[in-house]
Structure 1
Amino acid sequence: MDINIRHAVIHNVTGNSQEELEDTIIDAIESGEEKMLPGLGVLFEVIWNHSSDQDKREMLQALESGLK
């Protein structure tokens, strides 16, 4: 079976409100389940692709700080 994770994740959250998206992200993080990581990666990819250069720099700074 060939599953397109990007398509499935995007399909599952398309049309969700900001509150619903936040709940999805928080649930995925708090569950601590490894199987949720690809979905979070897809969501991050969407964020990254729709962010300005300044927003990307801020995300990278936050990431760098979080990894110290």
Structure 2
Amino acid sequence: MTFEPQTPKIHHLGRWLTMDVGDFEGDGDLDIVLGNYSRQFIHQQGLQKNWNTKKPFILLENNTREGK
């Protein structure tokens, strides 16, 4: 098994501090859910203007199964 580090294209849109793994779609694949905690940082110095404070989480769907 060989792995390569990846950065989701949404990394600049929030403060992704929490993560969990599970079969959220019920298709047998393990998916990843990321929690955004940027709302609490809205008044803090260094807040990134492009952080999305309204999107509490995103689901990264696993599409690696054969036949998909």
Q: Same fold (TM over 0.5)?
A: no
TM-score norm. by structure 2 comes to: 0.21
Structure with a larger share of its residues in helix: 1
* Greater gyration radius: 2
TM-score w.r.t. structure 1 length?
0.21
Which of the pair has the greater relative contact order for Cα pairs under 8 Å at 6+ separation?
A: 1
Bigger proportion of residues as strand: 2
